Amino acid sequence: MTAGGLRLKPTNIADPEYFHKVVDCQYACPAHTPVPEYIRLIAAERYTEAYMVNWESNVFPGVLGRTCDRPCEPACRRGRVEEEPVAICRLKRVAADNKDDITEFLPASGKKNGKKVALVGAGPASLAVARDLAPLGYDLHVYDENAKGGGFMRSQIPSFRLPEAVLDQEVEYITDNKNIATFYSTRIDSLKALLAKDYDAVFIGSGAPKGRDLPDLPGRKEGADNIHIGIDWLGSVAFEHISSVGKKVIVLGGGNTAMDCCRTARRIGGSEVKVIVRSPFADMKASPWEKDDAASEDIPIIDNHVPLEFVIEEGKLVGMRFDRVRAEYDAKGRRKLISTDEEPAFYPCDEVLVAIGQENAFPWIERDIDIEFDKWELPELDTVTYQSSNPKVFFGGDAAFGPENIITAVAQAHQAAISIDLFCQGEKLTKRPGPGVTLVSQKMGIHEWSYDSSVVSDVRYQVPHADKTAALGDRKLEVELGFSKDTGFEEAQRCLNCDVQTVFVEALCIECDACVDICPTECISFVDNAKEPELRDSLRMPAKNLDQDLYVSDKLPTGRIMAKDEDVCLHCGLCAERCPTSAWDMQTFLYQVTKASQI
Amino acid sequence: MSYIRPEFRHPASKTNTSGFTRKDYEGALSTLCAGCGHDSVSNAIIDSCFELGVWPHRVAKISGIGCSSKTPTYFLGKSHGFNSVHGRMPSVATGANMANGEMAYIGVSGDSDTASIGLGQFAHVARRNLNMVYIVENNGCYGLTKGQDSATTDVGSSSKKGDPNPYEAVDLCSMALQLGATFVARSFSGDKEQLVPLIKAAITHNGFAFIDVISPCVTFNNTPASSKGFEFVREHREATGKMDFVPVRSEITTNYEPGFVKEITLHYGSVIHLYKDDKLDCTDRNSALRAIQEHDEKGRILTGLLYVDPDSRDFHKVQQTVKQPLRDLNEEDLCPGARSLNAINASLR
C-alpha cells in the first residue's frame, strides 16, 4: 500500500505478494506452507495429498504437527472474528497420522551431476537442503556426531512430545535417497580439513549447540555434579545416558526448553519439580500451550525470581536462593527487574537444570579460511542467499542467525539449497526464482462453488491427552493423542479458506451495492478516494487494523472507488454470489515458494 | 449449495441506544436476483431502524404482492409482519394501525402493487394520513412476471424486451402530494446516504410518510434505454438540498452558517436539517408539485425530501379514536355500564 499523502492507487493483484499476505497463516509461516490448501484436503479425507503438500513445503509434517512453534496460529484470521484460531498445527498431524505409504511420491535420486556437497549436522536445516538437492543429482554427504539423524529434533524434543518412530520415518524419507550418504557418529572438528576435501560446497547446519550457564553464580562449581545444562541434559536423556533425576528438581528458565526439562524430570524420578523464572509469567518465552501442559503435570511456575546462589551444604547441593523482583517497563516497553528488597527466597532441591537459553558456537571453524565473524561470533552471511564470505560455505538453521525453530530452519534451508545449486552451476546467486503462483476461479454455477464456502461457528476442538498417571510413568508415551479423523474433519471445517480470494474487476461493476449489503462483516465500501488514513476512516466499518491491507479498485463510473478491508473478510463468497455481473469472483490462490528442485 | 450467511459479524460492530446490534435488525437471506435494488432498500431500512434504535418488536412490516413485497422477509426478522393480497397492503396496515397505534408500521410495495391494482387503496390511505411509512420500490416493471412494463414506466423507456412504452406514467409522488400525504420523498436505491435519513425521518413522522424509491430491476429493466436503470438514474438525478436527520435524543452539534440550514421539527422532537435549496420550499405542497414538474420537463429526476407537514394530524387524531391499543382495553373500558349509556342517551334527547 502506498504511504499516506497520496490517494490510493489501485491494488496490483498481479503482484503475488498481495494475495499472499491475505492468506495470513501461510504468510506468517516462515516456510509459507499453503495451509488452507492442505486443510481442504484433510476435510476431503485426502490425507496423503495433504501430507505431501506439507512435505513439499516444510519437509517434516509429522514432527511439526506435534512440535511447531505455530506462528501461523496467532496470525489466523479466525482469531480476529472469534476467540480461537484454527488448530492448524494439530490438523497437520492429522494428515501425517492418517497418510498412506508415501514412498512412491518421494522424488527420485537424480542422475549424478558430478558435484559434491558436504552438510555439517543432520538436523532439520541440513536434511532439508539435502532433500532439495538430491533430485538434481548432487552427491550429498551428511555428517553428524550423533548415532542417528534429526539433530535437535531428536536430542531436545522429548519422546512424550515427539515419538521416535515419527522422527525416524521423516528422517529416512530423506536419507533413503541414493544421492545422500550419511556419516553418523562422525564429528567434524575442523572446517579447514573439510574444505580441503573435494567438495564443491559446504552447508553448515550445526545448530546452536551451546546452552547458557550461570558460571559466576556462587556455588556453581561446588554443586556441579547436580547442576546440568538443560539442552545437554535433554540430549543425554534422549540417548539414554541419563535415566533418573533427584526427587526435588528446580528448572531455571522460561522457554520451551525449560518446559521440556521439567516435564522430562517429572517422568524420570522428579516428584517435586518447579520451574523458577526471572521474568513475570506473561513474559515467558514458552508457548502458552507448553506452559499449560507443564501446569497440568503439577509443575508450579514461580515467576519474578532472580537466582542469587546455589546453596551447598557439606559439599552437596541442597537448594537455591533467589531475589524476589518485580518488573517495570519504560516508555519503550523495555523491561527492568527491580528487587522488592524482601528476604531472599530459598527453595530446596536435589538437582538444578539450567535452561536459560542457547547460543551458537563454532570452535571448529578456523578463523583463517575467509569466513568472517561478527562481534557476537556469528558468521557474516548474506541474508537472502545464506552464503558466507567464503563463497563455498553456506549456513542455515540455528547456525545461521542464532536459535529459532524447526520451521525457520527449513525455510532457510530451501533458500540455501537454491544458492548452493546456483553456485555449483556457476550462476549468479541473485538470480533467484520467483514463487509459483496460480489463481483459479471457483465458480461452478448459481450458489455453487468448488470450495466449501459456508462458515461454521464451531469453537476450536480440544486435542485429547493420554492418561496422566500413565504418561508420567513412561517417558516415551506420547501425551497428546491427536485429533481423530472425525474431529479433524470438524476442525478443518473451521478454516475460512483465506486463499480463496475475492477478485474484483472494476470494468464489470455497476455499483449496485449488492456486495456491500450482503457482506456479513461489512468489509466492502464504495467511497471517494482519499489518502490512506482518511480512506480507512471513511469505510463502512473503519479499517483500524493497519497490518491488514485495503484492496482498492480504480475509479468507477460514479467517480468512487471500491475499497475492501481485508481484515475480517470471511471469504464466504457472498459478495460474488450476490454480484449480478460477476465483478466479484472467488479464485483460489496457490502460492508456492520455489525450491531448488521440483518435489 | 453455499448460500448460507455466516454468523460472524465485524468484531467492532456497535450497539445502539436500545442495546441492539445491527444483526438484530437483519432478516433472512434474500432470494431476489443478485444485484436487485430492493436488497439495497432492505438494507437502508435495517440501517435506519438500527440507527434510530427502534425496538424490533414494536415494528410491523406489511406488504402486498411482487418482488418488492417479498422483501419484508429480508429485514427486521424479529418484527411483526403481514404479507397481504396484491394491492391491499394499505387496508391491512389501516386495520393494524387502528387496532394498535403504538407500533411503527412499515409498508413495502411496488410500482404495480401501488400504481395499478392498488391505486385505489393507495389514494385512500394517503388521504386518511394513516401514521405509517409507505415505501414503493419502483423498478418500472413487473419483475416477478418477467419484466412487462408497469404503470410507472416512463413514455419511451424500454426494458430488456426492447419495445418502448407508449403510455404515460403515473407519478406517485405528485399523486401523493395531491391526495394530502404529509411526508413525500423520492430517492434511489443506489444512494443510501440520501435514503437512510429519509427513512429515519419517515419513521419518526406522525402521519402518512411516502417514499418513492427508484430501485432498478437488474434482470429485466437495467438496459441503457430504460429510465429506471442504474446508469440512467445516476445521470439524470438531481437532489433537493442535502438532508440530515437528528433524532430527538442527540444533541445538535453541527454548526452551519445562519440561513444556510432550514430546521424542521417533527412531532416527537426529532429535527430534519435541510441544507438550503432555493428551488424548493419543503413545507409548501405547491412548491413541491411545481419542482417535480419543472424537473420532469427538463428530463431530470428530482430526489430528496419534497414535502413535509410538521403539524400533521394522523388518522387516529382525526378520528378521535382511543389512544390505547385495543388489546389493552379491559371489560370496564369496553362495557362502561348502564349509567354511561343513560348519559349518552340523555345527551341525545
Does residue A430 sit within a domain? no
- Cα atoms found within 13 Å of the Cα of residue A428, Cβ hemisphere only: 4
Average pLDDT over residues A282-311: 95
Using CA coordinates, name the residue in chain A closest to B9: A521
Considering the domain architecture, whether residues A474 and A587 belong to the same structural domain is answered as no
Q: What pLDDT score was predicted for residue A7?
A: 82
Indicate yes or no: CB of B40 within 8 angstroms of CB of A521: no
- Going through A450-506 in order, the beta strands assigned E by DSSP cover 500-504
Residue B231 to residue A557, Cβ atoms within 8 A: yes
b/e map of A168-187 (b: 16 or more CB within 10 Å)? eebbebbbebebbebeeeee
**Residue at B212: amino acid letter:** D
pLDDT tier, B100 (very low <50, low <70, confident <90, very high otherwise):
very high
A200 and A337 fall within a common domain = no
Q: How far is A515 from chain B (nearest CA, A)?
A: 8
Choose from B2, B24, B219 for mutation: most chain A CBs within 10 A.
B2
What is the pLDDT, as a whole number, of residue B261? 65
Least confident of A392-406, A442-456, B116-130, B210-224: A442-456
Q: Are A86 and A494 in contact (CB under 8 A)?
A: yes
Distance from CA of A109 to the nearest CA of B (A): 45
Which residues in chain B touch residue A448, judged by CB atoms under 8 angstroms apart?
1-2
Could you tell me if A319 and A231 lie in one domain? yes
Question: In terms of Cα–Cα distance, which of A145, A159, A151, A99 is closest to A130?
Answer: A151
Contacts of A542 in chain B (CB under 8 A): 12
Contacts of B2 in chain A (CB under 8 A): 447-449, 452-454, 572-573, 577
Look at A454 and B42 and tell me if their CB atoms are within 8 Å: no
Q: Is residue B15 part of a domain?
A: no
Cβ separation of A512 and B35 shorter than 8 Å?
yes
Let me know if residue B167 belongs to a domain: yes
pLDDT of B90 above 50: yes
Shared domain for A220 and A330, answered yes or no, is: yes
Residue-level pLDDT at A323: 96
Asked if residue B74 is part of any domain, the answer here is yes
**Confidence class for position B257, pLDDT limits 50, 70, 90:** low
Task: List chain A residues with CB under 8 Å of B35.
Answer: 510, 512, 514, 578-581
The number of domains in chain B is 1
- Cβ contact A455–B6 (<8 Å): yes
Instruction: Evaluate if residue B266 carries a pLDDT over 80.
Output: no
A478, A5 in Cβ contact below 8 A? Answer: no
- More confident: B332 or B92: B92
pLDDT digits (tens, 9 = 90+) for A72-97: 999 999 999 999 999 999 999 999 99
Contacting residues of B for A81, CB less than 8 Å apart: 8, 11
Domain that holds residue B283: 22-319
| Residue A100 pLDDT exceeds 90 | yes
CB spacing of A544 vs B12 below 8 angstroms: yes
Residues A341 and A215 in one domain: yes
Q: For residues A62-68, give the mean pLDDT.
A: 97
Alpha helices in chain B (DSSP H): 37-52, 67-70, 89-99, 111-115, 119-127, 172-179, 192-204, 230-236, 285-297, 315-319, 331-334, 338-348
Number of domains in chain A: 4
Whether B8 and A81 lie within 8 Å, measured CB to CB: yes
Q: CATH number of the domain that A563 lies in?
A: 3.30.70.20
Q: Is A568's CB within 8 Å of B37's CB?
A: no
Q: What is the pLDDT of residue B278?
A: 59
CB pairs under 8 A between A and B: 101
Express as a percent the part of chain A with pLDDT over 90: 95
Is A312 in a helix, a strand, or coil?
strand
* Phi, then psi, of B226 in degrees rounded to 5: -95, 140
pLDDT at B276: 60
Whether residues A221 and A352 share a domain: the answer is: yes
In A380-400, which positions are buried (b, 16+ CB within 10 angstroms) versus exposed (e)?
Answer: ebeeebbbbebebbbbbbbbb
Domain of B44, CATH number, reads 3.40.50.970
Domain-located, residue B1: no
Comparing A8 with B38, which gets the higher pLDDT? B38
Give the closest of A511, A541, A580 to B190, CB-based.
A511
Q: Of A511, A542, A574, which has the smallest distance from its Cβ to B230's Cβ?
A: A511
Which residues of chain B does A455 touch, with a Cβ-Cβ cutoff of 8 Å?
A: 4, 6-8
Range list of H helices, A374-499: 398-401, 406-424, 468-473, 485-493
For residue A523, give the chain B residue with the closest CA: B10
Question: Which residues does chain A have within 8 Å of residue B42's beta carbon, measured at their own beta carbons?
Answer: 517
pLDDT per residue over A9-35, tens digit each?
A: 999 999 999 999 999 999 999 999 999
Q: State the pLDDT at residue B3.
A: 73
Is A455 in contact with B7 (Cβ distance < 8 A)?
yes
CA distance A482 to chain B (A): 28
Q: Residue A443 and residue A453: Cα distance in Å, rounded? A: 11
Where among A304, A329, A358 does a domain terminate? A358
- The answer to whether residues A73 and A138 belong to one domain is no
Q: Are residues A116 and A234 in the same domain?
A: no
Which one of B8, B35, B43 has the shortest CB-CB distance to A570?
B8
State the average pLDDT over residues A518-544.
Answer: 96
Would you say residue A431 lies in a domain?
A: no
| Same-domain check for residues A349 and A228 | yes
A307 lies in a domain? yes
Using the Cα atoms of residue B128, residue B134, residue B140 and residue B142 in order, give the sign of their dihedral: negative
Question: pLDDT per residue over A290-300, tens digit each?
Answer: 999 999 999 99
Per-residue pLDDT tens over the stretch B295-322: 999 899 999 999 999 999 999 999 999 8
Average pLDDT value for residue range B21-49: 96
Task: Give A598's Cβ-side CA count (13 Å radius).
Answer: 1
Q: Is the pLDDT of residue B110 over 90?
A: yes
Q: Which among A82, A558, A580 has CB closest to B34? A: A580
A267 part of a folded domain: yes
Q: Are residues A550 and A469 in the same domain?
A: no
Grid cell listed for A479: 501425551
Indicate whether A332 and A247 sit together in one domain. yes
**A396 part of a folded domain:** yes
Q: Is residue A348 part of a domain?
A: yes
Residues of B in contact with A524 (CB under 8 A): none
CA dist B45 and A149 (Å) reads 67
| Residue A16, domain member (yes or no) | no
Q: Do B39 and A517 touch (CB under 8 A)?
A: yes
Which residues in B lie closer than 8 A to residue A520 (C-beta atoms)? 5-6, 8-9
Cβ–Cβ < 8 Å for B56, B88: no
What is the average pLDDT across A4-8? 68
Mark whether A72 and A100 lie in a shared domain.
Answer: yes
- Is the model's pLDDT at B2 over the cut of 60? no
- The answer on pLDDT for A435 being more than 90 is yes
The tens digit of pLDDT for each residue in B36-69 reads 999 999 999 999 999 999 999 999 999 999 999 9
According to the model, what pLDDT value does residue B1 have?
38
Q: Which helix (H) or strand (E) holds B61?
A: strand B59-63
The answer to whether the Cβ–Cβ distance between B34 and A517 falls below 8 Å is no
Look at B6 and A570 and tell me if their CB atoms are within 8 Å: yes
What mean pLDDT is predicted for residues A88-107? 97
List residues of chain B with CB under 8 Å from any CB of chain A. 1-13, 30, 33-37, 39-40, 42-43, 189-190, 192, 216, 218-219, 222, 230-231, 234
Position A270 in a domain: yes
Q: How close is the nearest chain A Cα to the Cα of B4, in Å?
A: 6
Q: Is residue B344 part of a domain?
A: no
ipTM of the complex: 0.90
pLDDT band with cut points at 50, 70 and 90 for residue A1: very low
pLDDT at B48: 97
Nearest-by-Cβ selection for B2 from A454, A513, A542? A454
Look up the CATH number of the domain holding residue A245: 3.50.50.60
Instruction: Write out the residue range of the structural domain in which residue A521 sits.
Output: 498-592
Q: What pLDDT, on the 0 to 100 scale, is given for residue A3?
A: 45
pLDDT confidence tier of residue B271, bands split at 50, 70 and 90: confident
Residue A572 and residue B6: Cβ atoms within 8 Å? Answer: yes
